[in-house]
Chains A and B, each alone.
Chain A
């Protein structure tokens, strides 16, 4: 949230409101960084943290794309499997008769 408002912030400022030590904050930032969601750059003695909007947007695009892609396919799969089930049921009924 603060990153969104302020754009870029130092690790020290970012950590201040939290009751955790700086190395712990760095660990969290490592995880976010590895996921490509934040970037960090060293400016003199401070490290600036910045949200990386592109990977986040890219992830949302991916989700939307595949939701469309698979939703339509799964609907067809459902229709096909249900037709196969109906066929199997009819065959069974004929066998039983």
Chain B
């Protein structure tokens, strides 16, 4: 069976996501948007999938490969402009040709996640976050063996390391190779993408933390999308480049997966100069006394 996927290329309401690359390749719950769709279509019986990309087709090709990991054959087609679903169907899906998945899965515009057409992904950061949280229970498919539901509403990657003194509150997603240190609180409504590091006594709630992102000790990421040093409040669309990487930063560097945790700790030590460390120490000591401050854990 055949299917056609159309990559969204425009996202005026989510400029920071657009800056990161084609929207179809943005990571969500351990895979990219296109990856989730290919897995979904493969489960429906698709064996040949064409992906139409009007923007960054090389990156799309890099993200989806040849489809072998889903047991399908994928070809990426470069388009000059983003076609609508109807335009793409007219151009790439000959009317009456047999061997296509039944509608609406024959031609799919990836503006939402599989099974959630009512939750658009790219209309705003708030929409993006709502869609991810709603889709969390659907993300654990039989093909995904590296994540399991440890407790109701709590999904944890098999190679994640969660300290016994950390607190996970459902719903939350802790991706593969994530580190959650002692005293940290993750959830409710928290998504930690692969290889994120949440430091001691940090708080992540109603937020999405991108892959390879370091959340510093005692910091609070709430109602936000955090990826590298970029922090976006999904309620207001306000964005901030956090200047101090010991608070929030990127861990993305060429590295072997087995060294991620050690690298994260070394990174946090390396980037924390004395004066900044003093601020953290001051906050910690103050928080220990101030009755109006609620420390996690």
A, B bound: no
Interface, chain A (partner B; CB < 8 A): none
Interface, chain B (partner A; CB < 8 A): none
